[in-house]
Amino acid sequence: MVLSTLRNLRTPTATIPAPSSSSATAKPARAVDGEILLETTALTKTYAGADGELPVLAGIDLQIRAGEVVALLGRSGSGKSTLLRCLAGLIPPSSGTVAYRDQPLKGANPGTAMVFQTFALLPWLTVQQNVELGLEARGTAPDQRAEAARAAIDLIGLDGFESAFPKELSGGMRQRVGFARALVVEPDVLMMDEPFSALDVLTAENLRGELMELWASGQFPTRAIVLVTHNIEEAVLMADRIVVLGSRPGTVKETFHVDLDGPRDRNSPAFQDLIDRVYRVMTGRTKESRIPGRPDGIDTDRRTPANTPLPGASVDGLSGLAEMIAHHDGRCDLADLADDLGLEVDDILPLVDALELLGFAGISGDDLLLTDRGTAYAGADVQESKTIFAEAAMHAPLVKLITTSLHQNAGGTLRAGFFRDVLAHHYTSEQVTQQLETATDWGRYAELYAYDADPQEYRLENDQPRPTARS
């Protein structure tokens, strides 16, 4: 199916006709390879938070050149989507500039079109009508719209689905509509925000392959692709350049040039080596790329709730990971582990952060190693594990803050709102909620304190001794 579709696409009739000479937007001349299409200079973005400004992007200098596929890679919340939206002119930067072909952007970028993770189709419109939408906004005449949409539909392998409604389509077919709708406007730069992450593995693989073949064949006039992803393998498979963003606030942490021949072989040593190198930067394992706020970057006695956020990891999740490492004789390669579990790096990083924060594991090279404390925890029965966990959890600043505050408060109870306010100075409300959920889970399991959802109150259990953290 894939190959025959692609073979059919190689006929000249599948090329998208230029929307129209009378179209509202005159196309600039085709950029030659290497020409800068998009450029950000000292771009920053801050959002208004519950308690002042929240810096999301800081000092981003980025160039997107004709002929390249650039992957923006980073952990959840690192500002990838925000950067993409700034490049597309959908939101303005707080300071700094975004320029398209040397012209500072004022509003939506005329040279870009976006493919979204969630497809963003209008359910009451057919495939054909959804694809025509982009052109309608640009003022293309109806007959030219219809013709261009048919060609885009053909190009992306949706022939025969023109009159179908989105709900009749599989996820993969819906995302093809997303691609067709973006390509029909012949963007100079195609923007994609995690376009494959809502699809099952095989569908994603198939679509990725088809898109890259289309790109290589030059059948659509797009001159560059910017792909947002948190999937390292996807970035190494597709990109010519990988830009890794750090978090809080997002900065360009490192750039990798991918010199692998296509089609890229996942099993080749060069491919694996690049995955490992990118992985090390993503996890903050290199000196120059430590992620601020990660527990291993800060001495235990200097950790505070502000500089050491609690990762989104449940006791069950982190205990499961500890047991899994114990089964691998206390040591395993992180990337392999994620692979074995059918997960992405991003999925297990919070668990890894949690094990490190608790002193249950440490990183050596690409391997995750259980410490003696972690080994004891993984092998303990329920009561023992609670005791070990209670001691370890006092190394987590927020758990410690809640515990000591409760002990200092004569009544032994405190409203969650108190801790929410303290954290709101440093985190978004979403992050505050996640951290309090983790603190509640950890504190309850450790029997350091209890939490009543109504009236949102932490309290000491009556018979609780005052805990201490021993290093």
According to the binding rule CB under 6 A, does residue 463 interact with ligand ATP? no
Do residues 359 and 320 lie in contact, with contact meaning Cβ atoms separated by under 8 Å?
Answer: no
- Which residue, among 1, 31, 435, 447, has the nearest Cα to 221 in the 3D structure? 31
Print the SS3 string covering 10-40. CCHHHCCCCCCCCCCCCCCCCCCCCCEEEEE
User: Per-residue DSSP letters for 439-463?
Assistant: HHHHHHHTTS-EEETTTTEEE--TT
The site partner of 78 among Mg ion, ligand ATP, none (C-beta below 5 to 8 Å per kind) is ligand ATP
CB of residue 98 vs Mg ion: minimum separation in angstroms? Answer: 18
Cα 344 to its chain centre, rounded Å, is: 11
Q: How far apart are CA 187 and CA 174, in angstroms?
A: 20
According to the binding rule CB under 6 A, does residue 74 interact with ligand ATP? yes
The site partner of 56 among ligand ATP, Mg ion, none (C-beta below 5 to 8 Å per kind) is ligand ATP
Choose between 223 and 230: whose C-beta lies nearer to ligand ATP: 230
Q: How far apart are CA 145 and CA 142, in angstroms?
A: 5
Choose between 81 and 219: whose C-beta lies nearer to Mg ion: 81
Pairing of strands 112-115, 69-74: unpaired
CB of residue 90 vs ligand ATP: minimum separation in angstroms? Answer: 11
In the shown chain, the binding pattern of residues 175 to 204 toward ligand ATP, with x for contact by CB under 6 A and - for none, equals ------------------------------
In the shown chain, the binding pattern of residues 388 to 427 toward ligand ATP, with x for contact by CB under 6 A and - for none, equals ----------------------------------------
The site partner of 76 among ligand ATP, Mg ion, none (C-beta below 5 to 8 Å per kind) is ligand ATP
- Residue 315 has, within 13 A of its CA and on its CB side, a CA count of 19
Residue of the chain from 20, 44, 81, 308 that contacts Mg ion (CB under 5 A): 81
According to the binding rule CB under 6 A, does residue 78 interact with ligand ATP? yes
Helix and strand tally (H, E) in the chain?
Answer: 16, 16
Choose between 72 and 182: whose C-beta lies nearer to Mg ion: 72
Q: Which helix (H) or strand (E) holds 260?
A: none
According to the binding rule CB under 6 A, does residue 76 interact with ligand ATP? yes
Which positions touch ligand ATP (CB under 6 A)?
47, 56, 74, 76-82, 230, 428, 430
